[in-house]
Amino acid sequence: MSADLVSRLAAILGPSGLLADEADMASYAIDWRRLFPGRPLCVARPASTAEVSEVVKACRAAGAAIVPQGGNTGLAGGAVPDASGGQVVLSLTRMNKVRAVDPVGLTISADAGCILKVAQDAAAEAGRLLPISLAAEGSATLGGVVSTNAGGVNVVRYGMARALVLGLEVVLADGTIVDMARQLRKDNAGYDLKQLFIGTEGTLGIVTGAVLRLVPRPRHTVTALLSVPSPQAALDLLALAQEELGDTLSAFELMSGYSFDLLKRHLNLTPPIASGDWFVLLEAGASLSGLREAAEAALAAALENGTALDGVIAETGAQATQLWALREHITDGEAREGKSMKHDVSVPIVDVPAFLEAADIAIENGAPGAKVNAFGHLGDGNIHYNVVLAPGQDGAAINTLVHDVVARFAGSISAEHGIGQYRVDELLLRRAPAEIALARTLKTALDPDDFLNPGKVLPAGG
Amino acid sequence: MSADLVSRLAAILGPSGLLADEADMASYAIDWRRLFPGRPLCVARPASTAEVSEVVKACRAAGAAIVPQGGNTGLAGGAVPDASGGQVVLSLTRMNKVRAVDPVGLTISADAGCILKVAQDAAAEAGRLLPISLAAEGSATLGGVVSTNAGGVNVVRYGMARALVLGLEVVLADGTIVDMARQLRKDNAGYDLKQLFIGTEGTLGIVTGAVLRLVPRPRHTVTALLSVPSPQAALDLLALAQEELGDTLSAFELMSGYSFDLLKRHLNLTPPIASGDWFVLLEAGASLSGLREAAEAALAAALENGTALDGVIAETGAQATQLWALREHITDGEAREGKSMKHDVSVPIVDVPAFLEAADIAIENGAPGAKVNAFGHLGDGNIHYNVVLAPGQDGAAINTLVHDVVARFAGSISAEHGIGQYRVDELLLRRAPAEIALARTLKTALDPDDFLNPGKVLPAGG
């Protein structure tokens, strides 16, 4: 049966469209963090939406589950197969074209396998901005960005990926192609069915194309690094920035003093300002002049009233890049320090200081010797609360400690990374039964045979 | 059975919670345009989410369908009962409290029956903006705004209602309360189930509470009226405004010369600028200074290169209100001219000029003597393409003419007003069978007995 399916897929896809050799399939079989090794039956690489539909029908007829995969940059193992050797990886990477850019209507249309960076560049060439910015943008695909409702550093201004999706083209579990790739800013004609496929990690359908919203590209940008005495001071600074800069604020990142210790110790990176217990990196962009003056006035006010201890505004693009490099190397510094448990949590923005305090106490008491490397998107209430383990410490127990505190603040155990296979059990534990039941209703309605990416988001077999 | 249900509901809700007298029920039985007269069995007015759940269970046990209703300001008959006398109107208007405003986290939480204007005012008191602005804001409720994915004049900057919904509290068809009223900006822990209840007009569940996103309130506002030679010139002006003003642009309205004729003829309203064939009303807001200078420069450039023929920027708030009054009275002027067919359509923004030309030709040829009153949200590609009928003309035929042209541009037959009962048949005709089938799958999964608002969006009985 399996051999039959592989031949059938080879007939549909041609020689360049199918990989069945173990060495060829290696990079598709495991996620890039190498936490979730799998073994696919084969890797199907369709070149068109029609081919995707044919692959789905053939796999369905053969009873082989499908695992959709884009750039394979996910952090939750959502795009890799299990170890059974029976699942078919459906890679969208050959469908990689920008279909159209409309600078006046502010849209970009592209295949699901189009690399995010390629789409960003196409928008920039047309003088517009695709405002999704994340570490994996050189490899992540638009289909993956949509299917995982990706976040990144600009969510505070532009929202998650969902907020930018105007249209989708999707293949359902029975192979039906649903073309909703409309270029409309407003469309209330019936249920907005594309929402079903955003952030559901390929478990309800396969995204094959997308129309995303663009925005005008700001002419002026300000990047600033400040040291602050506490998370509460960082929150006060956020309020001040909202007041003075309005919604020009496009990034507001909080980083702990410990994060900066790691940068110095392992990467010899130091900030160009006096140290504090915490740091804030903020960015704002505007078409209007007057941005820099407003930012300078806000910084002066913050230094004057003690909200900030020290601060610098980048004078050049190169300086801005240096400031961002501090933020971007924190994960690297952490990896060099030792084994860590990562947590991608969110709480209501105003509760971030209380959350950090409560979580620190929980770790101090429950896992003495562990070190907390907290940083993330304060402007969204999203903290990467990573814990560097002391020798012999139990990661799972620390995970429970942290997520118990998240629950006390009615927060989320996955703010932007999704559930994948990584947090399926935890989701069942943490979400109310009524929500889990409703999610199952949806999965059963759209994929009754549990054929699309089984075991991701919800347990395999329901 | 019906009398039993009424007594049962009276027992749940108390004397002030149930209306069963015909006179008391009159305003709940028909929409405000008086196009869809219905007759309810009774009107249930619960005071809490728990009561909503009890009402749903009682109606379900008795086999009486439920029609959720907010401010009853919808334009598609989505919130009124049929004429059978057997449906129960569930009015949310007694659940009308603002639950909380968070000016730093930029959220407002409220009951579904909270009036939009009340929520706007609560946000303003906290120095923030709830950026949903529509004609019915003094009566429309947040639950209705969410359930219909309301639009309005600020969509160009802030998106439809969906873009502002952070959390929802919902009652399902079996009475289960699903509390997703989280105050999180980011939450990718499992399916985003609240999306199911946004824009689905109460057919999949009943919204009982909402958490909406607020934005910083712009300190400076610019309102300008310009006359332009053509829709294409208006589009060129939009591109210019995007270039010069960036995403400070919060409204970009197109109005035809005929719209202004109606204003003058019936309401004695005249614009303070030289007439053109078309007019644009634009508004922009920013926290930064320099907005007015940028707007003046853009206007000068537009006059210089012939994109605009004449233009004025409001000097005071009162002048801005006068400019907006022109836009807001167009529907009134149209009503005084005679009977009209209204169309709330959208096409890709860049196709608006070609759409208007093609639709005008279709009307000229297919319905000679009819007059086109076109106006709307050019910045979103959403045109209210209303047609004032000549004596004896057939509205339905004109409707078909217009929507046939919409189809040629891959547009939408309902950009912001929804489907309700008004456009159910047309939706079946205009949407691809795959989309209709998927919508039915969803309806069947969440409301298998067609018990929630039957006959709205999809035909009754599937």
Torsion of CA A384, A390, A393, A396, to 10 degrees: 0
- Whether residue B258 is predicted with pLDDT greater than 90 in this model: the reply is yes
Kindly determine whether residue B290 and residue A288, on different chains, have CB atoms separated by under 8 Å.
yes
pLDDT at B222: 98
What's the pLDDT tens digit per position in B188-235? 999 999 999 999 999 999 999 999 999 999 999 999 999 999 999 999
pLDDT confidence tier of residue B28, bands split at 50, 70 and 90: very high
Kindly determine whether residue B294 and residue A286, on different chains, have CB atoms separated by under 8 Å.
no
pLDDT confidence tier of residue A159, bands split at 50, 70 and 90: very high
What is the number of structural domains in chain B? Answer: 4
- In degrees rounded to 5, what are phi and psi of residue B124? -65, -40
Judged on CB neighbours under 10 Å (0-12, 13-18, 19+), B394 is exposed
Is B433 contained in some domain? no
What's the pLDDT tens digit per position in A383-402? 999 999 999 999 999 999 99
Answer yes or no: do B212 and B297 share one domain: no
Is A157 contained in some domain? yes
What is the distance in angstroms between the Cα of B242 and the nearest Cα belonging to chain A?
A: 6
Candidates B191, B244, B412; nearest CB to A187: B412
pLDDT at B462: 59
What's the pLDDT tens digit per position in A290-337? 999 999 999 999 999 999 999 999 999 999 999 999 999 999 999 999
Kindly determine whether residue B186 and residue A160, on different chains, have CB atoms separated by under 8 Å.
yes
Domain extent, residue A190, equals: 98-216
What value does the mean pLDDT take over residues A155-173? 97
Which of A91, A109, A138 is the last residue in one of the domains? A91
Contacts of B242 in chain A (CB under 8 A): 104, 106, 216
Euclidean distance between CA atoms B431 and A179, whole angstroms: 10
Kindly determine whether residue A288 and residue B248, on different chains, have CB atoms separated by under 8 Å.
yes
pLDDT at B1: 65
Of all residues in chain A, what percent carry a pLDDT higher than 70? 100
pLDDT at A461: 82
Kindly determine whether residue A457 and residue B107, on different chains, have CB atoms separated by under 8 Å.
no
Kindly determine whether residue A349 and residue B199, on different chains, have CB atoms separated by under 8 Å.
no
Can you tell me the ipTM of this complex?
Answer: 0.97
Nearest chain A residue to B217 by CA: give it.
A246
Nearest chain B residue to A298 by CA: give it.
B288
Candidates B183, B198, B200; nearest CB to A348: B183
Is B241 contained in some domain? yes
What value does the mean pLDDT take over residues B73-80? 96
Question: What residues have CB less than 8 Å from B332, skipping those under 6 apart?
Answer: B266, B267
- Whether residue B72 is predicted with pLDDT greater than 80 in this model: the reply is yes
Answer yes or no: do A7 and A57 share one domain: yes
Kindly determine whether residue A190 and residue B435, on different chains, have CB atoms separated by under 8 Å.
yes
- Residue of B56, B104, B153, B191 to mutate when probing chain A, most A C-beta within 10 A: B191
3-state helix, strand and coil shares in percent for chain A, rounded to the nearest 5: 40, 20, 40
Which contiguous run of DSSP H or E holds residue A281? strand A278-286
What is the distance in angstroms between the Cα of B21 and the nearest Cα belonging to chain A?
A: 34
pLDDT at A1: 65
What value does the mean pLDDT take over residues A42-60? 98
- Residue of A247, A417, A423 to mutate when probing chain B, most B C-beta within 10 A: A247
Kindly determine whether residue B438 and residue A193, on different chains, have CB atoms separated by under 8 Å.
yes
Answer yes or no: do A279 and A205 share one domain: no
The SS3 of residue A216 is strand
The SS3 of residue A94 is coil
Kindly determine whether residue B191 and residue A200, on different chains, have CB atoms separated by under 8 Å.
yes
DSSP codes, A19-60: E-SHHHHHHHHS-TTS-S----SEEE--SSHHHHHHHHHHHH
What value does the mean pLDDT take over residues B62-74? 97
Contacts of B132 in chain A (CB under 8 A): none
Answer yes or no: do B104 and B212 share one domain: yes
- Residue of B128, B288, B416 to mutate when probing chain A, most A C-beta within 10 A: B288
Contacts of B252 in chain A (CB under 8 A): none
Alpha helix (H) residue ranges in A142-277 = 142-147, 155-158, 231-245, 257-267
Kindly determine whether residue B189 and residue A431, on different chains, have CB atoms separated by under 8 Å.
yes
Side-chain-facing half-sphere of B346: CA atoms under 13 Å: 25
Answer yes or no: do B87 and B14 share one domain: yes
Nearest chain A residue to B236 by CA: give it.
A104
Contacts of B436 in chain A (CB under 8 A): 190
- CATH classification of the domain holding A38: 3.30.43.10
Helix axes A330-337 and A257-267, enclosed angle (nearest 10)? 70
Contact pairs from chain A to chain B, CB under 8 Å: 289
Three-state helix/strand/coil letters over chain B:
CHHHHHHHHHHHHCHHHEECCHHHHHHHHCCCCCCCCCCCCEEECCCCHHHHHHHHHHHHHHCCCEEEECCCCCCCCCCCCCCCCCCEEEECCCCCCEEEEECCCCEEEEECCCEHHHHHHHHHHCCEECCCCCCCCCCCEHHHHHHCCCCCCCHHHHCCHHHHEEEEEEECCCCCEEEECCCCCCCCCCCCHHHHHCCCCCCCCEEEEEEEECEECCCEEEEEEEEECCHHHHHHHHHHHHHHHHHHEEEEEEEEHHHHHHHHHHHCCCCCCCCCCEEEEEEEEECCCCHHHHHHHHHHHHHHCCCCCEEEECCCHHHHHHHHHHHHCHHHHHHHHCCEECCEEECCHHHHHHHHHHHHHHHHHHCCCCEEEEEEEHHHCEEEEEEECCCCCCHHHHHHHHHHHHHHCCCECECCCCCCCCCHHHHHHHCCHHHHHHHHHHHHHHCCCCCECCCCCCCCCC
Is A460 contained in some domain? no
Nearest chain B residue to A182 by CA: give it.
B410
Nearest chain A residue to B175 by CA: give it.
A434
What is the distance in angstroms between the Cα of B273 and the nearest Cα belonging to chain A?
A: 27
Is A455 contained in some domain? no
Is B461 contained in some domain? no
What value does the mean pLDDT take over residues B122-138? 95
Is A461 contained in some domain? no
Answer yes or no: do A409 and A443 share one domain: no
pLDDT at A462: 59
Euclidean distance between CA atoms B378 and B244, whole angstroms: 18
Answer yes or no: do A228 and A206 share one domain: no
What value does the mean pLDDT take over residues B318-327? 97
Nearest chain B residue to A165 by CA: give it.
B163
pLDDT confidence tier of residue B153, bands split at 50, 70 and 90: confident
- Per the document, the length of chain B is 462
Contacts of A435 in chain B (CB under 8 A): 178, 180, 190, 193
The SS3 of residue A372 is strand
Query: Tokens in use for B9?
Result: 């509901």
Which contiguous run of DSSP H or E holds residue A210? strand A206-213
Kindly determine whether residue B439 and residue A350, on different chains, have CB atoms separated by under 8 Å.
no
- Whether residue A276 is predicted with pLDDT greater than 90 in this model: the reply is no
Question: What residues have CB less than 8 Å from B147, skipping those under 6 apart?
Answer: B68, B70, B197, B198, B199, B200, B201, B202, B207
Which of A76, A91, A106 is the last residue in one of the domains? A91
- CATH classification of the domain holding B384: 3.30.70.2740
pLDDT at A203: 98
Helix axes B231-245 and B291-304, enclosed angle (nearest 10)? 140
- Whether residue B115 is predicted with pLDDT greater than 80 in this model: the reply is yes
Contacts of B247 in chain A (CB under 8 A): 215-216, 287
What is the distance in angstroms between the Cα of B212 and the nearest Cα belonging to chain A?
A: 13
Contacts of A243 in chain B (CB under 8 A): 127, 216, 287
pLDDT at B274: 86
Answer yes or no: do A153 and A207 share one domain: yes
What is the distance in angstroms between the Cα of A403 and the nearest Cα belonging to chain B?
A: 12
Kindly determine whether residue A381 and residue B188, on different chains, have CB atoms separated by under 8 Å.
no
Answer yes or no: do B67 and B172 share one domain: no
Kindly determine whether residue A287 and residue B183, on different chains, have CB atoms separated by under 8 Å.
no
Residue B353 identity: P
Write down the mean pLDDT value for chain B: 96
Listed as own residue / partner, the contacts of B300-308 with beta carbons closer than 8 Å and 24 or more positions apart are: B301/B240, B301/B244, B302/B226, B302/B237, B302/B240, B306/B229, B306/B233, B307/B228, B307/B233, B307/B236, B307/B237, B307/B240, B308/B226, B308/B227, B308/B228, B308/B233, B308/B237, B308/B280
Residue with the larger pLDDT of the pair A153 and B9: B9
- Residue of B164, B208, B247, B413 to mutate when probing chain A, most A C-beta within 10 A: B247
- In degrees rounded to 5, what are phi and psi of residue A44? -90, 130
Kindly determine whether residue A348 and residue B248, on different chains, have CB atoms separated by under 8 Å.
no
Is A275 contained in some domain? yes
Query: Tokens in use for B18?
Result: 């149930």
Kindly determine whether residue B246 and residue A195, on different chains, have CB atoms separated by under 8 Å.
no
Contacts of B289 in chain A (CB under 8 A): 288, 290, 293-294
The SS3 of residue A214 is coil
- CATH classification of the domain holding B141: 3.30.465.10
Answer yes or no: do A356 and A377 share one domain: yes
pLDDT at B152: 86
- Whether residue A58 is predicted with pLDDT greater than 90 in this model: the reply is yes
What's the pLDDT tens digit per position in B30-59? 999 899 999 999 999 999 999 999 999 999
Answer yes or no: do A157 and A188 share one domain: yes
Least Cα distance to A254 among A327, A306, A309 occurs for A327
Euclidean distance between CA atoms B37 and B26, whole angstroms: 10
Which of A174, A194, A216 is the last residue in one of the domains? A216
pLDDT confidence tier of residue B278, bands split at 50, 70 and 90: very high
Contacts of B381 in chain A (CB under 8 A): 105, 184-186
Contacts of A412 in chain B (CB under 8 A): 182, 184, 186-189
Contacts of B174 in chain A (CB under 8 A): none
Candidates B348, B414, B436; nearest CB to A188: B414
Nearest chain B residue to A457 by CA: give it.
B190
Answer yes or no: do B161 and B260 share one domain: no
